[in-house]
Amino acid sequence: MVHTMSLVHDDLPCMDDDDLRRGKPTCHVVYGEPIAVLTGDALLSLSFHHMARVDSYPPDIDADKHPARVVRAIGELARCIGSEGLVAGQVVDLEMTGSSETVPLDRLEYIHLHKTAALLEASVVIGAILGGGSDEQIERLRKYARSIGLLFQVVDDILDVTKSSEELGKTAGKDLASDKTTYPKLLGLEKSREFAEKLLSDAREQLLGFDQEKAAPLLHLANYIAYRQN
């Protein structure tokens, strides 16, 4: 199977199915670190550029009539990425990696809430803002997103110890092999499953106040994340 990047860069090696199962090489491996760093800066800027253009939005959002919503949505994205969001999670993760001590539970949750849940939070909350949600609705959906974000990681950790590589479509048991701190390691498998159930129920609860037909995709997403098998 041909690596998509090899379509534009002739000198890239083609990848076979085994390569793909192991994952594609990251940008810094293929293009070098300086270009990878600049690509990150460019993509980060592009996301804000995109959000600042009225024609980026579907017509029913009426972005040109609601610039204050667009400003608020941009602020939300910036907060979820920056030193209160993704970056904060990555910094704490970096500090923990290479440390010999086990990551305590609150630190593990901090990392996942900031590294994973923050981007789900931004996605959900931005939709709520642009859709004209009230402050209370926006905060409910924020809690929903944080719950499913954390749920995603807990389920990921559980699948890593309960499924075979074939079922996962990626190498199973690698968390254990790499000595990574996971929920099953800290809580045990049973308590991890209970925690996942609680997060799912928290997420569902936040959706109760909404029109159930409109909330159906979010409910489905929460269930999908909770019950996925790979």
Residue numbers at the binding site for a copy of itself (CB under 8 A): 33-35, 37-38, 40-42, 44-46, 48-49, 51-54, 64, 67-68, 70-72, 74-75, 77-79, 81-83, 85-87, 90-91, 94
CA dihedral of 182, 102, 113, 90, whole degrees rounded to 10? -110
CB count, 10 Å around CB of 154? 26
- The least CB distance from residue 167 to a copy of itself, in Å, is 33
* Cα–Cα distance, 23 to 28 (Å, whole number): 14
Question: Is 57 or 152 the residue whose CB approaches a copy of itself more closely?
Answer: 57
* Cα–Cα distance, 176 to 182 (Å, whole number): 8
- Write out the two tokens for 91: 């910094």
Question: Is 7 or 68 the residue whose CB approaches a copy of itself more closely?
Answer: 68
CB count, 10 Å around CB of 188? 11
- The least CB distance from residue 46 to a copy of itself, in Å, is 5
- The least CB distance from residue 182 to a copy of itself, in Å, is 22
Question: Is 66 or 180 the residue whose CB approaches a copy of itself more closely?
Answer: 66
- Write out the two tokens for 141: 């959906």
Question: Is 3 or 72 the residue whose CB approaches a copy of itself more closely?
Answer: 72
- The least CB distance from residue 94 to a copy of itself, in Å, is 6
Please name which of 149, 156, 75 lies closest in space to residue 119, comparing C-alpha atoms. 149
Torsional sign, CA 209, 212, 215, 217: positive
Question: Is 1 or 94 the residue whose CB approaches a copy of itself more closely?
Answer: 94
- The least CB distance from residue 151 to a copy of itself, in Å, is 25
* Cα–Cα distance, 182 to 205 (Å, whole number): 26
- The least CB distance from residue 145 to a copy of itself, in Å, is 18
Question: Is 45 or 165 the residue whose CB approaches a copy of itself more closely?
Answer: 45
